[in-house]
Amino acid sequence: MSFSKRDTNIVKGVAIIAMLFHHTYPNNTGIPIINTENVSVLLILATSSKICVALLTILSGYGLRESYKKFETYEGKFKNARFVFSHYLQLLSLYWVVVLFCLCTTYVQTGKGFSLYGSGITGFVYCLLDMLGLGMVFHTPILIGGWYLTAIVVFYILFPILVILVKKIGLLFVGVTYLPWIYYLVQKDYNMHTDWWLFYLFSFVLGIYLSEKNILTKWKEASSIKTGIFSVVFLGAMLIVRCFIALPADPFLSVAIIGLEVQVLSKISIINNLLEKCGAMSANMWLIHPFIIEKLNNLEFVDYTGKFMILFIVSIGMAILLEDLKKQIGYSEIVIKLRKKIIS
């Protein structure tokens, strides 16, 4: 009994719904709830839903390390570079389809598409950087990827080194990567810019560590009433901690949510089936939802709840449609063959 792909998708489902909710409702991401005036349940939920970033990043680190375990016996040249490039290609293959869809939609609506990048050689370079997920690195125009796409690219590049450090130094190294959040806590500057890979390196490394020590599998195998109660209490405790320190608590709250999934959510079929479907489509939903939000912001007659429901339905609908289109035209199969070629 291991922490399976299905478990991962269920947790991703929680994360992507939280992301949509967080991006729909006005909130004060970095300000602890105890320092916020006119607190409401919706504000608490919208603010706390920022946890989606740490949650997805932990799963990314965990999943990459699990995948690398199957690759460690490979003896070909440039082993690590091949592994990283294979996963980088997989990430970009998801991104390119959504970007193309958004560009075509924009062109149909406005008669403009690539004009975002400008013209001439400069426009071509800007477009190329965006297609490679590096727009935020060079501060050039981007269509939909945002800072997190660049962060994931950085994590992929650093991954082989991070695995070695986790193996050799263990928890001490994991703790070192938490230092940016320590700095954040010491400064108490709640407006500090934290949407940056350095702040979420801890979550990625924590995911690697959880895989290295098989902690999630052990947590799942320890299924019992006591473990279930512990998981619920741990989640409650982390929610309280988050009310006091906000963002620095997110990695630990994320682990609590994963624990709740393996002990509770995975056993409730009505809930986990929906979450699993959302999780399977989470990459497409993550990439396309900013484009949809931009359109929804023009609907002044729709309240925030209505916008969230529309965003959720349209995002998952478009995600399923794009995924089906990729299969129909053979795109997914081509990507799989290319990735196999890279690592063979």
Point out the least confidently predicted range of 217-226, 227-236, 293-302. Answer: 293-302
What 8-state DSSP symbol labels residue 215? H
**How many helical (H) and strand (E) elements, i.e. helices and strands, does the chain have?**
17, 0
pLDDT at 61: 98
At residue 334, does pLDDT exceed 90? yes
At residue 36, does pLDDT exceed 80? yes
State the Cα–Cα distance between residues 340 and 331, nearest whole angstrom: 14
At residue 298, does pLDDT exceed 80? no
At residue 106, does pLDDT exceed 90? no
pLDDT at 75: 72
Average pLDDT over residues 8-21: 97
At residue 299, does pLDDT exceed 80? no
Tokens for 127?
């477009």
pLDDT in tens, 69-86: 988 777 777 889 999 999
pLDDT class of 268 with cuts at 50, 70, 90: confident
Residue 141 buriedness (CB in 10 A; 0-12 / 13-18 / 19+): middle
pLDDT at 173: 98
At residue 57, does pLDDT exceed 90? yes
- Percent of the residues in the chain that have a pLDDT greater than 90, as a whole number: 70
> Are the C-beta atoms of 196 and 214 separated by less than 8 Å?
no
CB atoms within 10 A of CB 343: 14
State the Cα–Cα distance between residues 270 and 276, nearest whole angstrom: 10
The gap from C-alpha 205 to its chain's centroid, in whole angstroms, comes to: 14
pLDDT class of 324 with cuts at 50, 70, 90: very high
At residue 118, does pLDDT exceed 90? no
pLDDT at 107: 83
pLDDT at 16: 98
The Cα-based distances of 186 to 152, 190, 260 in angstroms read 27, 11, 31
pLDDT class of 218 with cuts at 50, 70, 90: very high
Average pLDDT over residues 241-267: 94
pLDDT in tens, 168-216: 999 999 999 999 999 999 998 988 999 999 999 999 999 999 999 999 9
pLDDT at 60: 98
Point out the least confidently predicted range of 150-159, 170-179, 274-283, 295-304. Answer: 295-304
pTM attached to this predicted model? 0.95
At residue 232, does pLDDT exceed 90? yes
State the Cα–Cα distance between residues 206 and 229, nearest whole angstrom: 24
- Taking all residues of the chain, what is their mean pLDDT, rounded to a whole number? 92
Alpha-carbon Rg for the chain, nearest whole angstrom, is 20
Average pLDDT over residues 247-251: 97
Q: Which residue has the higher pLDDT, 42 or 58?
A: 58
Average pLDDT over residues 130-153: 90
pLDDT class of 219 with cuts at 50, 70, 90: very high
At residue 13, does pLDDT exceed 90? yes
